[in-house]
Amino acid sequence: MAASAQKAEEKAEAGTTKGGGLKLIVLVVGVVLLVAGGAVAAWFTGLFGKAGEAATAQAEADKKPATDPVPPAPQVAFVDLPDILVNLKSNGKRTRFLRLKVALEVGDPRAVEPIKQLTPRILDGFQLYLRALTAEEIEGSQGMVTLKEELLARINHAIAPARVVDVLFKEILVQ
């Protein structure tokens, strides 16, 4: 029996050594990971001086996409014209009306005041042209494009040498 007790004690000591060694390895690995994580955190927060700041700046630069310098936006201004209400040319007994709200896009903001001063001349050109139209001539997208081109040509003729870039329709109503 003494032999079997001695073998049991040897097995117990061997198990304790194996289990203790495994626990020691886990503990050492945990401490190493904790120290390494702290060192990395200290590096990126700048506790190690300028090297940490450079790394942080580089990391931020890597996050941002490389962009070309953006050119400055072109200067434009807009001039709202008074509402226009005209009766359209009609073939029947029924009278048709066109209500129009327009804004003018001006490429040079300095031209806004001269255009405002010439608004009566612009509206006169609109009235003469619009009263000659029928409702069918301004239907659909092609009719709208033609109307825009004609108004733009009449405006630029009325305000020369100033220039309007585009006519913007804010509202168009045919009744």
For residue range 14-30, list pLDDT tens digits in order: 555 556 778 888 888 88
* pTM score above 0.85: no
Domain co-membership, 83 together with 137: yes
Q: What is the torsional sign of CA 117, 121, 122, 127?
A: positive
List of long-range contacts for 139-148, beta carbons under 8 Å, 24+ apart: 144/169, 144/172
- Per-residue model confidence (pLDDT) at position 92: 78
User: What is the domain-level CATH number for residue 158?
Assistant: 3.30.479.30
* Residue corresponding to tokens 């931020």: 60
Judge if 93 and 158 occupy the same domain: yes
Q: What's residue 124's pLDDT?
A: 93
Do 47 and 93 share a domain, yes or no?
no
On whether residue 69 sits in a domain, the answer given is no
Residues of the chain with pLDDT below 50 are: none
- The amino acid sitting at 37 is G
d(CA 172, CA 146): 14
